[in-house]
Amino acid sequence: MGRRPPMLALDVSAGYRGRTVVEVSASVPPGVTALVGPNGSGKTTLLRAIAGAIPARRRVEVDGRPLGPRDVAYLPHGGLDPNAKVGDELEFYWEVLGAERRDYAVDLLGLKELMGRKVGELSRGQARRAELAVVLALRRRVYLLDEPLEGLDVQYRGAVLGELRRLGEYVIFTTHDPSAVEAAAGWLLALRGGRLAYSGPPSGLKGRVAIRARRGGEVVTVETDRPEEKVEELRSLGYSVEEVRSTAVEELMR
């Protein structure tokens, strides 16, 4: 028998007050996976369950071995003390977690000038960068990131997306932004009602297409499941077609 391909195997059931919120079985390949779905579909609960942050029935294996606490880096929301200085909070978590890339994370996220400020004085984007620094300073097999791009400006959004691609191993991040899926994700998990609605490459999705077209100063965007016919129709009406893109990922987020 040949060696099994690398894989993160998930079999997770979790909930609150006796009610099951998510129940997911999936196999995730190495690289970046986007976890998407409507609000309330169970994305955050699933990440917390995989990370072991909440009670759950879980079997999580990385390359055939049980996932241990030191295999995981988990980014939740609002984990830093608002009354503490940024530098003190980062050093505390880095010491506890055994961070190996501290200076790298500070430089990547532009935190040098913020280290002496209190977390509660930061903007939402600055606070998110500080939270990201805790995780991106670690070397782990699996990275679980809940809305890592939330509040980030274009510069740091690009830096974080690039870092996700460079991390290797297994990265699962939640997002409501289809462009982030396109920019970074080689695999997609979609939840609906706490259950798996899709697992596979984004390119494997089939659905509607959005077409943007221009005629003089008029710009229109139309959605269709018959793009070739719609493009011909628009051109016959004097429009020049500027963009044709799939809306399948967007539909999974609604």
Residues 176-213 pLDDT 10s: 999 999 999 999 999 999 999 999 999 898 888 899 99
> Which CATH number is correct for 8-204, 3.30.70.100, 3.40.50.300, 2.40.128.20, 3.30.230.20?
3.40.50.300
Q: Which stretches of the chain score pLDDT less than 70?
A: 1-3
The residue ranges of every structural domain in the chain are: 8-204, 209-253
Structure tokens at 17: 């007050």
Bridge partner list, 145: 75, 173
Q: How far is CA 247 from the centre of its chain?
A: 18
| Residue 240: partners with Cβ closer than 8 Å, 6 or more residues away | 213, 214, 215
Of 234, 236, 175, 178, the closest CA to residue 207 belongs to: 178
Bridge partner list, 222: 211
Residue 208: the pLDDT is 82
Residue 3: the pLDDT is 66
Distance CA 209, CA 226 (A): 8
CB 60 within 8 A of CB 8: yes
The model's pTM: 0.89
Residue 1: the pLDDT is 47
